[in-house]
Structure 1
Amino acid sequence: MLKVINDEFGVSYGHVETVHSFTNDQNLIDNFHTGDRRGRSAVLNMVITETGAARAVAKALPELAGKLTGNAIRVPTPDVSMAILNLTLERDVTKEELNAFLRNASLNSSLRQQIDYIESAEVVSTDFLGSRRAGIVDGLATITSGNHAVVYVWYDNEYGYSHQVVRVLEKMGGVSRPFFPTPKG
């Protein structure tokens, strides 16, 4: 998501907030943990904690190194998470322009196997269980003001991640499967 946004609009600065399902690193009941706050019950609490997401993005997209910060809120759900991309762009953008661009990227870009787009007032986290995409933009939640944009991205942090690992392994192995829709151009 950040790649296509940066390529089209430029990212001057950003903060990535993940609202993340609890993980096996957390305790199910209040107990000792070496990480701040993570000793509290994962199934009963929202827990503010650190994340390596911003650093990981900088490794994959060196052009964003030093431009992103990030943290996580672990929530008492077993699967499906959300990334909130709070971005200062290099130019002004409207909600309509940004959403049209992201919708088009989900259908016609080389990243269409990673990006999806939805506009539905009915969706909640469990609707994204089993999604193969790295992220699904929730277009109705997009906010813009001048060069500031907030983009909400759902993802299945288990199956979706696993599918992306398989996609990378296929690419490394030279395996190419048909995928529809095919990009325009």
Structure 2
Amino acid sequence: MKLPTKLAAGLRMTFAVEGKAAVADAEPNRLLEATTSDDPFEIAGRELATGSAEPGAWARALVAADGDVARSQAEYVRIRVSVLQEQAAKLEAVARAEEAERDRVDQMARDEHESRVRAWAGEQGVAIADAARMWPFRIAKVGDRFVYREYRYERLEDAVAYASKLESKPG
């Protein structure tokens, strides 16, 4: 959408909306340098200054200002700030929902792991704490010995230490 020529011809504009100011330089056929700002006032001001206003918002602003370009600029900023804030709120809600889903899946994985360790403890006839140490290495208790691969140990600590040493080696 093209803004009126005097708007895009190199003005310095300041918009005061809801107590905030958005200042933008407009030069013909040159976009302002992109910023990483999430400030909706800055974004709306930059859109006006570069002639890249959202067509629907600009049309609503012109109608609200009865065609007065100066008033419609301020109205445009109000409209865009409102829309950008709504979009940010929706994105934040989606991010919270995704985080909650990740937490739920992580909890399910922890519950599943705990269930398997409890079952392993029952199968091996050992305490749950011992089974939790045995499970990652698939150390089994056979009689009064702890078996890791082809190795047999009298103490669980020795089996875990050796298994940990072997499995931490690359390759």
Give the TM-score normalised by structure 2.
0.26
Query: Of the two, which has the highest radius of gyration?
Result: 2
Give the TM-score normalised by structure 1.
0.24
Structure whose residues are more often helix by fraction: 2
